[in-house]
Structure 1
């Protein structure tokens, strides 16, 4: 999705109605492959053009290291080995970044290498400048709220039915989302939802991402997946993605309705 001027104008109009925090936090939420990173970069470029000191942080960059997820897999549930659901992020690190930026200090920004399925060494992290005025926080579950206990009862796909029959994994993820994630998301001043037309497009979008990742990283990178791997991978995200698409439009500041080709069909206030 190449952001058009009208979409950027709508976002900057919404930013102008944001909160008092330093920095102002713009949350961009959308399913895998919906164009969040492309939009975040376009917003950052426009903000810099306007003289606004800006930093970008993806919630994906807060993923726990592979070793930390291995530990969770052994101690809590095997499905926590796979990055994705709440409970597989270092939310405290995200809150520390915001604390530093709220003081007007510079802050290191972690980066995660999906091809290696691990966090990059700190020497390769980026940095948010001192007196950052705008932080763009983007990710597939940014701003999400937990489901009810009743909603967790029945599996939503084969992965949950076969590998989480007692609901322990999804309950752990939901409890994590209800905890520190809400502290992080409470700092969002303006929330924008890139709304996919349906969950079934996510496979095609994510498969395209994987092809692009393979082209950049080369075929031997350990985090790369074939089509079957992508299909299984997105099942980890399905429950919460469906919940977001059903629940978030009523409260997001902007809802960007996407077509199956990721074209922008409409931009509406939440």
Structure 2
């Protein structure tokens, strides 16, 4: 016995009351949709599942004879550029390293919370900057403080700091733009895009610290995040919401 295209062949007699009822119900639906009715065989049945469903392992007369097909949404990963992926960031970092004053001030302020002398902690900070600058939270905070200053007092900002500010704003916009597209694709409401004339510092911090290059501080400096909340230098750099 064969069945028409797209119909399922089941070795269940259509004389079975449950099969008969199921066929009658389905044929009523097909007739209402102006579609041909399903054939009735003597020793088996030809039938089909509804749109967006597929045949399950349950008997043909069961309510779950067909499984509903599911569609899973997986949004594409969006990787931030990270600090040194932003234009001007490297030059700002070099300027801070050459001058050294702000980095030393932050390190000195944090040292007591780290249970280290100021000299010891400053050495640890500079050693980290010399070897893995992309992992130095002290350097990131120093750069961030200059970025905040450039946003609030552009007249005092260097060319590199202004360039970093613009690049950060672009990165923020692109991130929101991509996330907005993903939200639309997931049938969610898309809020009005945020295109800042100057980036909000709280978002700037997100861009600077989001790169995978900055998620694992060194063993030597891993405690300074916990100390940041009570540090005046860190507070001045980070307390912009």
Which structure has the highest strand share of the two? 1
Tell me whether the two structures share a fold, i.e. TM-score over 0.5: no
Which structure has the highest helix share of the two? 2
Larger RCO: Structure 1 or Structure 2 (Cα < 8 Å, ≥ 6 residues apart)? Answer: 1
Bin the TM-score by the shorter chain: under 0.3
